[in-house]
Amino acid sequence: MSSARTYDFVIAANRLPVDRIVHDDGSVEWQTSPGGLVTAMESVMRGREAAWVGWSGQPDEAPEPFLDNDLLLVPVPLSADEVAAYYEGQSNDSLWPIYHDVIVPATFKRRWAAAYEKVNRRFAQQCAEVAAPGATVWVHDYQLQLVPRMLRVLRPDVRIGWFNHIPFPPVELFAQLPMRHAILNGLLGADFLGFQRPADAENFLRACRRLLGARTKGDVVDVPETDRRVRAAAVPISIDAGGLAELAESEPVRQRAKEIREQLGNPRTILLGVDRLDYTKGIRHRMKAFGELLDDGRLSADDTMLVQVASPSRERVAAYRELRHQVERTVGNINGAHSPLGSTAVSYLHRSFPREEMAALYRAADVMLVTPLRDGMNLVAKEYVTCHEGPGALVLSEFTGAANELRQAFRCNPHDIEALKNTIMAAIEAPAAERNRRMRALHRQVTRNDVQHWAGKYLDALEHAPEKPPAP
């Protein structure tokens, strides 16, 4: 299919919205890709005539571009070596730890950095190929930070935005990166840079001043040795609240939520965790707190259960494999010590579920535990408050982007296990009227600031950059 220079709107993300799965019998299936970026962007892009440039999730394969409704999906090939060096190495073993407060140590390899540059160039070339004259190209996330500048060189006529779905680290951590200058210069190829929190945008601006000697005025950077100016500001992402609420209120999902409670033995309290199995999510801290509450006798497995859904993630990176062992060992220990006969204290589900099942789980849960040690936003928190009806409660780590907006949650510092235990108890024991009041406020917050609103705000900022857009 010829797609040369025909699309006015192009997005680039490491992953396409769908993952190509090749089964053992050779049959091929496309499934929704994991993670919050795809959850959010899939609903923004639905129904738009646009191109999405990204990887199919499989090494050594580059299917031809194909149409998914009005969206042209443009697969970018990655060899097995590039998957190991660009994706698992530089993106997820160098950048991810540095951008998440070094919860695990970062590893730097020159070979990984070289592969990152090579793959970013391929993405830039692919964007240059499909973008119409004067098009808007929206680049996403930490895997593609060199693309804006590379694309500007190839196509000075296009408008370039970049959005970071994860935190941007303080300069003291960012400065460790051997490719720190290349990243800052790469990003400064864009017209507008969007971040989850004002603190992330400030970290970026400070890095430009300290490491590039760039001048900044307010949220605008003067790009050194050019007459270009780039704006960097917070535009916090969200979810398709309307679509999800409709799904959660549908009869099949209501029924399924009831069924889940029955299947679990109608416990008085269902606690729920939903995460990619990632060390940033504070799953171990959450388990420790829950285990100790059972040990202390403040909770009983006879009437309280923790359902932990943990989708498999980045399983070839050592820190993720180690986390999986730790979590599974802990679940085993808690269940060994506390599960009643014929039931479990922790129900651990290490797989992905369809949207309907997730919505039913959110509806069924009395208390949602969102306890990351660091998270750019955390869409799970927003999904829970959108789906749940009645007196639910959200326990939310203050180290998430979502905590900036969801002020009526039960806030916690997951590092402080004693305080986390007390917060979980407070959420369980709060009077129904208080839980109702908090949930209503949270629900309103997310409904008013949904992902369509976010995309509108982002694109408006991009169009007017480096100036601020006029107030709506």
Closest Cα to residue 162, out of 183, 126, 204, 192?
A: 192
Question: Could you give the CA distance from residue 376 to residue 101 in angstroms, rounded to a whole number?
Answer: 11
Query: Should residue 141 be labelled a site residue for ligand G6P when binding is judged by CB under 6 A?
Result: yes
Residue of 122, 149, 165, 443 that binds ligand G6P (CB under 6 A): 165
Classify residue 323 by burial, with Cβ atoms within 10 Å: 0-12, 13-18, 19+.
Answer: buried
Give the DSSP H/E element, type plus range, for residue 304.
strand 304-311
Contact mark string toward ligand G6P, 177..196, x via CB under 6 A: --------------------
Question: Could you give the CA distance from residue 148 to residue 134 in angstroms, rounded to a whole number?
Answer: 15
Which partner, ligand ADP, ligand G6P, none, binds residue 377 by CB below 5 to 8 Å per kind? ligand ADP
Which partner, ligand ADP, ligand G6P, none, binds residue 39 by CB below 5 to 8 Å per kind? ligand ADP
Which partner, ligand ADP, ligand G6P, none, binds residue 378 by CB below 5 to 8 Å per kind? ligand ADP
Query: Encoding tokens for residue 31?
Result: 């499934």
Site residues for ligand ADP, 261-300, by CB under 6 A, read 274, 276
Which partner, ligand ADP, ligand G6P, none, binds residue 392 by CB below 5 to 8 Å per kind? none
Nearer to ligand G6P, 141 or 383 (CB): 141
Residue 275, SS3 per DSSP = strand
Which partner, ligand ADP, ligand G6P, none, binds residue 371 by CB below 5 to 8 Å per kind? none
Beta strand 220-222 with 216-217 is antiparallel
Query: Should residue 15 be labelled a site residue for ligand G6P when binding is judged by CB under 6 A?
Result: yes
End-to-end CA distance of the chain: 40
Query: Encoding tokens for residue 359?
Result: 């919505």
Q: Which residues contact 168 (CB under 8 A, 6 or more apart)?
A: 99, 174, 195, 200, 201, 203, 204, 207
Give the DSSP H/E element, type plus range, for residue 306.
strand 304-311
Closest Cα to residue 410, out of 425, 394, 398, 422?
A: 394
Query: Should residue 36 be labelled a site residue for ligand ADP when binding is judged by CB under 6 A?
Result: yes
Q: Are 313 and 273 in contact (CB under 8 A)?
A: no
Residue of 18, 71, 230, 309 that binds ligand ADP (CB under 6 A): 309
CB of 240 to ligand ADP, least distance (A): 10
Residue of 120, 347, 378, 445 that binds ligand ADP (CB under 6 A): 378
Site residues for ligand G6P, 368-407, by CB under 6 A, read none
Which partner, ligand G6P, ligand ADP, none, binds residue 136 by CB below 5 to 8 Å per kind? none
Nearer to ligand ADP, 352 or 447 (CB): 352
Residue of 34, 170, 224, 267 that binds ligand G6P (CB under 6 A): 34
Closest Cα to residue 383, out of 290, 272, 308, 267?
A: 272
Residue of 10, 37, 179, 369 that binds ligand G6P (CB under 6 A): 37
Beta strand 66-68 with 71-75 is antiparallel
Query: Should residue 89 be labelled a site residue for ligand G6P when binding is judged by CB under 6 A?
Result: no
Q: Are 372 and 397 in contact (CB under 8 A)?
A: yes
Closest Cα to residue 324, out of 364, 287, 376?
A: 287
Query: Should residue 358 be labelled a site residue for ligand G6P when binding is judged by CB under 6 A?
Result: no
Query: Should residue 33 be labelled a site residue for ligand ADP when binding is judged by CB under 6 A?
Result: no
Classify residue 97 by burial, with Cβ atoms within 10 Å: 0-12, 13-18, 19+.
Answer: buried
Site residues for ligand G6P, 281-320, by CB under 6 A, read 313-314
CB of 55 to ligand G6P, least distance (A): 9
Q: Which residues contact 259 (CB under 8 A, 6 or more apart)?
A: 360
Query: Should residue 435 be labelled a site residue for ligand G6P when binding is judged by CB under 6 A?
Result: no
Query: Should residue 57 be labelled a site residue for ligand ADP when binding is judged by CB under 6 A?
Result: no
Query: Encoding tokens for residue 88?
Result: 């698992």
Binding span for ligand G6P by CB under 6 A among 34-42, 257-265, 297-305, 387-395: 34-42
Contacts with ligand G6P, residue ranges (CB under 6 A) = 14-15, 34-37, 141, 165-166, 313-314
Contacts with ligand ADP, residue ranges (CB under 6 A) = 35-36, 39, 274, 276, 309, 311, 352-353, 358, 377-380, 383
